[in-house]
Amino acid sequence: MKVLFVTSEVATVYKLGGLGDVSYALPAALKRLGVDIQIALPFYARISPNRFGGGRTPRNKHKGGLKCIGPLAVSWDGRRELVFVFVARLGDTNVPLLLFRHPMLDEYKGSKDIDSPTRFAFFCQTVATYAMVEAIRGESFDIIHCNDWHTSLLPLLLGESPKVFFRNGHGFPSLLPKETLAATAIRSVLTIHNPVYHGIVSTKIIKKIALDSRQFHVLRDGKVPYVNLLREGLEYADIITTVSPTFAKEMFSHNYGPHVTGILKKRKDRLVGILNGLDPELWDPKKDANLLQNYSIKDVVTVKRALKTHLRQSIRLPEVDVPVFGFVGRLDKYQKGVDILLAGVEKLLKKRSVQLIMLGTGAPSVVRMIEEMAVKYPDFFAFIHTFDERLARRIYAGSDVLLVPSKYEPCGLTQMIAMRYGTIPLVRKTGGLADTVENGKTGFVFEKYQASALVAAMERSIAVWQDTKHWQQMVKTVMRQDFSWKRSAREYLGVYNILLNAS
């Protein structure tokens, strides 16, 4: 089985968020199961060739070096664009990483010359061309695994079930056959990590790609027609997956816009929820170089006490006999629960019953509210307005409780990371949070998206924290949880096999 895993980010090479972690760990786990898998990624200008050294190197390096395997002629906007293809090995995973270099792929974000969706449409055209060339060479991929809107144009470009209408002899519209020959040669999987982001682009993209406009679902909500790239992927992919079983069910009750919610409901028989995993090598308190001391389940109680003290000292919080609550993530009040956290936590800060550490970046209006509260309670609330990987890991290890009060959360990795480091997660019952945290056993769970419900859960956790023996047992229980990618990879392999065995 030969699989091409196509993504916009990969941890240790170019990472923006959780998708980068998935794109590193899932292909590695599939490789260990015997899958012949490669990763396709734009060769962004920020990716230094020096990152790919020979021999065994540190975690942010990659073995085997970087090699150019030649140019690829890609049709785009009436021209032939030369894209140079490089290959390297992804760290110690032994997974080949394909990097596609072209000026249009230098950046992730849009610019005054080109918007981000157009960049990734070109990336999709490039990957589709590469897959075609490999097929001609007798090295065809069996599965193309796409991720989010950035790569969701690929199933259409690969010839998957085009929704093209024509007029028959009686003047009524009819559909062309469901599968083209190309579609039966390569099967496609689209994984939705976050359905909020769609990739909206002008219909000019159709001319640039040089396909029949009838193959696209041109949308006309306003005066200017446009194409929704995620919608195209949802229409054409053979199988749609998302990152937790609970979120797969919740997707039908949320509104992601009519052009996404509607097609999800239409294709619910092709939607599968597979829980993300966690890379145990990347997240290991026994050898995390970012920590003052390393530890395992055997010495977690004593070492975490020292790490908590060190964390407080590093951000200038005094040593007081209260639990430390941590928050690491995007400061998005509409998803991550920052609004209910700020609305509720002041009650506990006034009583001096908790210390709260928040690390992250977000909208200026949200940042101002957090900064004002940090000034108001300097001994009990610390806010670090940045993304700092080293400090994030110290918060995971040094906190007593990690807050994840999300309004919705497709999967979430922070709660798994917290448990790996012996920190108790406090989460709202939604998406992957509901699938990974058991109330009272491996964390604290609240249901209603309300400040009062969050505060009640925090008060429950404080009460348990005061029972030292109970708390220490809970810490050891969460450290025993297994969220490795092995289980998830087997489920994805099952999906691949279903597609390959389908007639």
pLDDT digits (tens, 9 = 90+) for 3-35: 999 999 999 899 988 899 899 999 999 999 999
Report how far residue 392's alpha carbon sits from residue 394's, in angstroms, rounded to the nearest whole number. 5
Indicate the SS3 state at residue 32: helix
Report how far residue 299's alpha carbon sits from residue 304's, in angstroms, rounded to the nearest whole number. 8
Report how far residue 320's alpha carbon sits from residue 355's, in angstroms, rounded to the nearest whole number. 9
Indicate the SS3 state at residue 406: coil
Q: What is the DSSP letter of 112?
A: S
Residues in CB range of 107: below 8 A, 6 or more apart? 44, 45, 119
With 0-12 / 13-18 / 19 or more C-beta atoms within 10 angstroms meaning exposed / middle / buried, residue 78 is: exposed
Report how far residue 150's alpha carbon sits from residue 23's, in angstroms, rounded to the nearest whole number. 13
pLDDT for 277: 93
177 backbone φψ class: left, alpha, beta (φ>0; ψ -120 to 50): beta
pLDDT for 176: 39
Ranges of the chain with pLDDT below 50: 55-60, 162-177
List 39's β-bridge partners, or say none. 5, 97
Indicate the SS3 state at residue 54: coil
Which strands form 424-428's sheet, in the order they lie side by side? 381-384, 355-359, 324-328, 401-404, 424-428, 444-446
What domains, with CATH codes, occur in the chain? 2-166+186-277+486-501 (3.40.50.2000), 300-482 (3.40.50.2000)
